[in-house]
Amino acid sequence: CFIPVPFFPCFGFFFSVTSLLPSILQQPARALTYCSLRKGKRKTVKAVIDRFLRLHNGLWVRRKAGYKKKLWKKSAAQRKRLRELTLCTRTQCKLLDKMTTSFWKRRNWYVDDPYQKYHDRTNLRV
């Protein structure tokens, strides 16, 4: 038994929008790795080196967003919170490791390094 459905022009618009939804709902991923033109080797993304610091245990440290911007309108407590450093999440650390070469993953022994005590993980149960 077939029941004819009247054609409504608005339904055509509805179906065209729903077909676009999966592409809109996908999260943008930046798996950006630069390659050299001659040998095709991976190159470091310089923005990562400028904005983040890699500890030897594999964690990446960053500043909070807006720690330099419009400080005159922020309270002293908020400015203090913005000066604190933040550890990146696991997926962010993986992505940042992809965007840098092995040169930036080696251990550095700086004189008077303020991060010296954070390079090694202590009391870590595996």
pTM of the model: 0.69
> What is 32-112's CATH number?
4.10.410.60
Distance between CA atoms of residues 21 and 50, nearest Å: 36
Q: Is 13 helix (H, G, I), strand (E, B) or coil?
A: helix
* Domain assignments of the chain as residue spans, ordered by start: 32-112
pLDDT of residue 87: 95
Strands (DSSP E) contained in 5-113 are: 34-35, 42-43, 52-54, 60-63, 85-87
Distance between CA atoms of residues 47 and 38, nearest Å: 22
Residue 9 pLDDT > 80: no
Q: Is 3 helix (H, G, I), strand (E, B) or coil?
A: coil
At 71-126, the pLDDT tens digits run: 999 999 999 999 999 999 999 999 999 999 999 999 999 999 999 999 998 887 75
